[in-house]
Amino acid sequence: MVESKVFLDPTLGWILLAAFSALWIGLGIYWGKRNKSFEDHALAGRNVGLALGTATAAATWITSNTTMLAPQFALQLGVWGMLAYSTAAFGLILFAPMAKRIRQLMPHGYTSGDFFRLRYGRVAWAIFLVFTLFYSLTWLVSMAMAGGILLEALAGIDYAWGMSVILAVCVIYTMRGGLAAVIGTDFIQSLVIIVGICVTGFAVLQNVSVSEIHANLTATKPALLDVLFPAAVMAIFNNLLFGLGEVFHNNVWWSRAFAFRDGVASKAFLMGGLVWLPIPVAAGFIALASGALGVAVPSADMVGPLVVAEVLGSAGAIAIFIVVFCSLASSIDSLLAATSDLVTEDIWRRLLHPSSSAESLKRTAQFVTLGLGVLTWLVCLPRIGTLATVLFFAGPLVGSMIWPIVTGLYWRSANTVGAVGAMLLGAGIGLYCYFSIGWYVATLIATAVSMVWTLGACGFAKGRFDWTVLKEAA
């Protein structure tokens, strides 16, 4: 057994942090020079190609939660937990045809909020905004917290300082460079992440064989190998649906669908999903190896970095430090950009200042990014709750939006009563199950309730939606 300890000299940790911070901020400022209007800032001029599109889809979905939560899932729920996490890839894969449809229906669209407002009206739009802002903040909080925890575990950098620096860097380059900077940095970050995870997987296998891992699990954690482990079995579809809900509703993905060049969106999301699919399996595998490697795990959300630092030593600690920093940045920047665009477009322009100029909207988006960063920092500072608990609280909310979005994109019979009822009933009952049964059923129940209500409302609907309403000019 080993004890928890710092694996990287704090001075070296600070040097790495400073170097990568300078790189991302420098690139953000450079790419931001091209942005003249809100459309340039929010949607990178609607001209993103396939390579950048694929990289940003994969990199954004490789979050700190992939590197932290996938191992935690494996440690808590075993092999099923590891596979359950990887099912989130289907969110990107299924969004591929939807992105094509979104571009066809809404050639001038900016946000997923535009879809709800035009398709279902203001009540559904308001509910959507509450749900998506809650989810986005939760996601941001979980990643910023993960950043602080990881930097503390790997380099002894104080949680509050590590979390603050990561958040500040992302806020600065997202403010300056908008979506172009986010997508550009995502490309570099995705390459670093994929190489880093491959190296880690091979390093673990150099230290311990699969048969040793299996023998250790059989002796000490037998339920993790049990095909009929109830908590793990329940998590499979819950996680899959959570992934679908996250991708289908969130402006992180809709903004990319709007930003990609014609004909690129469906291919980019499909390839991004396929690139992402094996990554949680690799990340989860190292957690299953923790017992065979003799790594004592004080807290479930620390298993990933502890195992990696143990098997790779100080050189590996540098590599994982960089990978973690990249995975955090690639997601925090995307979420900051997409959420600030949502607030700017849906609340500032549509509700408060309809006559805002393109230049003033760009400035507003920058200030909203700053405000989101400050709010996230305030929530993260007390370091409350485990990562899984924080993130999965939003599960029922996103699950309840799947059916209104899917039917709203493809069925003319989908209507406001169906969308509003599906979101309220689904989220309400899902949250009740979250507390009465557990997080691992909440999203599933929410989506199922939402489906039944939506199908019923569509079945009884007499009106048929006119698709041209969605082609609203900017």
Q: Which residues bind another protein (CB under 8 A)?
A: 1-4, 75-78, 94, 97-98, 100-101, 104, 217, 220-226, 228-231, 233-234, 236-238, 240-241, 244, 296-300, 303, 402-403, 406-407, 409-411, 438, 441, 444, 447-448, 451
Shortest Å, Cβ 299 to another protein:
6
The total of other beta-carbon atoms located within 10 Å of residue 209's CB is 12
Is the distance from CB of 149 to CB of 1 less than 8 angstroms? no
Shortest Å, Cβ 377 to another protein:
27
**C-alpha to C-alpha distance for 442 and 431, rounded to whole angstroms:** 6
The total of other beta-carbon atoms located within 10 Å of residue 319's CB is 17
Closest CA to 422 of 451, 393, 443: 451
CA atoms within a 13 Å half-sphere pointing along the CA-CB vector of 212: 13
Of 94 and 194, CB closest to another protein: 94
Shortest Å, Cβ 128 to another protein:
18
To the nearest 10 degrees (0 to 180), the angle between helices 64-86 and 279-288 is 90
Shortest Å, Cβ 236 to another protein:
7
Of 94 and 380, CB closest to another protein: 94
Is the distance from CB of 164 to CB of 175 less than 8 angstroms? no
Closest CA to 178 of 358, 349, 31: 31
**C-alpha to C-alpha distance for 118 and 331, rounded to whole angstroms:** 28
Shortest Å, Cβ 22 to another protein:
36
Of 131 and 229, CB closest to another protein: 229
Phi, psi (deg, nearest 5) at residue 464: -130, 130
Closest CA to 43 of 117, 102, 131: 102
Q: Residue 90 is which amino acid?
A: F
Shortest Å, Cβ 118 to another protein:
18
Angle (nearest 5°) at CA 188 between 186 and 194? 90
Of 103 and 117, CB closest to another protein: 103
Shortest Å, Cβ 407 to another protein:
6
Is the distance from CB of 147 to CB of 10 less than 8 angstroms? no
Shortest Å, Cβ 175 to another protein:
35
Shortest Å, Cβ 102 to another protein:
11
Phi, psi (deg, nearest 5) at residue 295: -95, 120
Of 329 and 387, CB closest to another protein: 387
Q: How many residues does the chain have?
A: 474
Shortest Å, Cβ 125 to another protein:
22
Of 173 and 439, CB closest to another protein: 439
Of 294 and 313, CB closest to another protein: 294
Of 221 and 363, CB closest to another protein: 221
Of 302 and 323, CB closest to another protein: 302
Of 144 and 232, CB closest to another protein: 232
Closest CA to 25 of 161, 146, 176, 144: 176
Shortest Å, Cβ 396 to another protein:
13
**C-alpha to C-alpha distance for 328 and 170, rounded to whole angstroms:** 9
Angle (nearest 5°) at CA 23 between 21 and 25? 65
DSSP state of 102: H
Of 58 and 446, CB closest to another protein: 446
DSSP string, 189-215: HHHHHHHHHHHHHHHHHHHS-HHHHHH
